[in-house]
């Protein structure tokens, strides 16, 4: 004998197909249109997800099983208004907590950028990847901190997969901050352990600025300071290297997560080579390159510059270097001192034919100097 079903049970059973606002349900995609996706909810009817409620980066196809949240159980047209974004948000925060607890590295794709960094979405939660948390290879190296150029470089990272770690996740404040640098930290530590000061490395120039050049050495950021670019005096690094150049450099320091590099130390110092031909007490001919109140700088060879101090210009203590010298003129000097350790050479103008003197007095005995009647 079959069990009789009461009216109350029938009425209660009829409620199982009624949708409730905020409820999370499963369905199957039946149609994908330009601005909407239609979902078959089985015995619970049909629903639609508008484009703004789909979520960024969703790859959908007909017949796909999806989870949705009910926004409106029954529109005037008879179907339900649904949201994929809302359905995944709560589950997304739960998944984010797991990712944080396990310190997991995940992959994200930036959907937009501003001058401060990249806008991303992870597990249905929108987050931010600040410029400061980008890896060395993706950091926008811009001379003069040009904001428009920074934004241009950040826009180039949109739709590019990036491996990140969660830096900060706060469900209450709906805050999610990501870091590409943290995701590479373990790998970087391993690479750093293999590097040694004095070792020669190869890298690619990623940015050229006023004080030097940034170089990517196998994912590690290196800096070649302007003073380490060339043995010559460098006024503008852009005259020596440009973005994309492959260079060889020597590691001169390792500090936390950055290398200090030198291009010039890959070759012998031409100053030391050229100064071997100069001896203390020798006469030397040089070109005046700079004039200052305390003396004048003189170029003795392509790489060797020396100083003639104001005290070595004349016996007259009130001598004015600007009156005595002209830029680019050539004079003879005497070599007083050579300091190879500090790369300094001292010169003297005293006792040379080139020293400044007053005009010679007129020779009264010279017939040419006498006036004719």
Q: How confident is the model over 283-315, as pLDDT tens digits?
A: 999 999 999 999 999 999 888 999 999 999 988
Res. 15 pLDDT band, cuts 50 70 90: low
- Report the 10 Å Cβ neighbour count for 174: 12
- So what's the pLDDT on residue 93? 85
* Rounded (10°) CA dihedral 140, 143, 147, 152: -50
Taking residues 352-364, what's their average pLDDT?
46
- So what's the pLDDT on residue 107? 93
Residue range 320-352, pLDDT digits in tens: 899 889 999 999 999 999 998 888 999 999 867
Asked whether the beta carbons of 188 and 179 are under 8 A apart, the reply is no
- So what's the pLDDT on residue 365? 46
Burial of residue 373 (number of CB atoms within 10 Å: 0-12, 13-18, 19+): exposed
Residue range 194-225, pLDDT digits in tens: 899 999 999 999 889 889 999 989 888 899 99
Taking residues 54-64, what's their average pLDDT?
82
- Report the 10 Å Cβ neighbour count for 364: 7
Taking residues 150-167, what's their average pLDDT?
92
Per residue, the 3-state secondary structure of the chain, as one string, reads CCCCCCHHHHHHHHHHHCCCCCCEEEEEEEEECCCEEEEECHHHCEEEEEHHHCCCCCCCCCCCEEEEEEEECCCCCCCEEEEHHHHHHHHHHHHHHHHHHCCCCEEEEEEEEECCEEEEEECCEEEEEEHHHCCCCCCCCCHHHCHHHHHHHHHCCCCCEEEEEEEEEECCCCEEEEEHHHHCHHHHHHHHHCCCCCCEEEEEEEEEECCEEEEEECCEEEEEEHHHCCCCCCCCHHHCCCCCCEEEEEEEEEECCEEEEECHHHCCCHHHHHHCCCCCCCEEEEEEEEEECCEEEEEEECCEEEEEEHHHCCCCCCCCHHHHCCCCCEEEEEEEEEECCCCEEEEECCCCCCCCCCCCCCCCCCHHHCCCC
Asked whether the beta carbons of 297 and 311 are under 8 A apart, the reply is no
- So what's the pLDDT on residue 58? 73
Res. 316 pLDDT band, cuts 50 70 90: confident
Taking residues 172-181, what's their average pLDDT?
92
Asked whether the beta carbons of 343 and 305 are under 8 A apart, the reply is no
CA torsion through residues 280, 336, 347, 313, sign: negative
pLDDT at 5 over 70: no
Cα–Cα distance, 38 to 46 (Å, whole number): 7
What is the DSSP secondary structure assignment for residue 143, as one 8-state letter? G
CA 160 to chain centre: 17
Taking residues 81-110, what's their average pLDDT?
88
Res. 353 pLDDT band, cuts 50 70 90: low
How large a percentage of the chain has pLDDT more than 70?
Answer: 88
Residue-averaged pLDDT of the chain: 85
Q: Rounded to 5 degrees, what are φ and ψ at 338? A: -130, 115
Res. 143 pLDDT band, cuts 50 70 90: low
- So what's the pLDDT on residue 92? 81
pLDDT at 172 over 80: yes
Asked whether the beta carbons of 241 and 228 are under 8 A apart, the reply is no
Burial of residue 287 (number of CB atoms within 10 Å: 0-12, 13-18, 19+): middle
Which domains, from first to last, does the chain contain? 25-88 (2.40.50.140), 103-183 (2.40.50.140), 196-266 (2.40.50.140), 271-348 (2.40.50.140)
What is the β-pairing status of strands 200-209 and 36-40? unpaired
Taking residues 11-35, what's their average pLDDT?
80
- So what's the pLDDT on residue 327? 94
Cα–Cα distance, 203 to 222 (Å, whole number): 9
Residue range 79-89, pLDDT digits in tens: 999 998 888 77
Res. 91 pLDDT band, cuts 50 70 90: confident
């Amino acid at each position: 004998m079959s069990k009789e079903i009461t009216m109350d049970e029938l009425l209660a059973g009829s409620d199982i197909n009624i949708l409730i606002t905020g409820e999370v349900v499963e369905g199957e995609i039946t149609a994908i249109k330009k601005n909407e996706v239609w979902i078959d909810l089985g015995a619970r009817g049909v629903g639609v997800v508008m484009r703004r409620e789909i979520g960024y980066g969703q790859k959908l196809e007909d017949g796909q099983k999806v989870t949705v949240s009910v926004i409106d159980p029954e529109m005037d047209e008879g179907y339900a208004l649904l949201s994929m974004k809302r359905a995944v948000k709560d589950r997304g925060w739960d998944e984010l907590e797991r990712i944080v607890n396990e310190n997991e590295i995940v992959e994200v794709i930036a959907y937009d950028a501003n001058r401060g960094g990249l806008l991303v979405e992870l597990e249905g939660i929108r987050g931010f990847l600040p410029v400061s948390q980008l890896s060395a290879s993706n950091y926008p190296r811009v001379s003069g901190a040009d904001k428009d150029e920074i934004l241009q470089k950040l826009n180039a990272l949109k739709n590019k997969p990036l491996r990140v770690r969660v830096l900060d996740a706060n469900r209450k404040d709906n805050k999610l901050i990501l870091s590409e640098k943290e995701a590479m930290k373990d790998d970087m530590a391993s690479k750093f352990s293999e590097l040694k000061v004095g070792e020669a490395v190869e890298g690619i120039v990623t940015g050229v600025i006023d004080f030097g050049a940034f170089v990517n050495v196998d994912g590690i950021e290196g800096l070649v300071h302007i003073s380490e670019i060339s043995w010559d005096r460098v006024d503008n690094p852009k005259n020596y290297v440009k973005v994309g150049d492959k260079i060889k450099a020597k590691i001169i320091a390792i500090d936390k997560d950055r290398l200090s590099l030198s291009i010039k130390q890959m070759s012998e110092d031409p100053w030391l080579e050229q100064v071997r031909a100069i001896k203390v007490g020798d006469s030397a001919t040089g070109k005046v390159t700079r004039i200052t109140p305390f003396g004048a700088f003189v170029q003795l060879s392509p790489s060797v510059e020396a100083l003639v101090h104001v005290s070595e210009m004349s016996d007259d203590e009130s001598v004015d270097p600007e009156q005595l010298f002209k830029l680019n003129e050539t004079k003879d000097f005497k070599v007083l001192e050579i300091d190879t350790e500090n790369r300094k050479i001292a010169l003297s103008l005293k006792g040379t034919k080139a020293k400044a003197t007053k005009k010679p007095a007129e020779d009264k005995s010279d017939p040419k100097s006498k006036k004719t009647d």
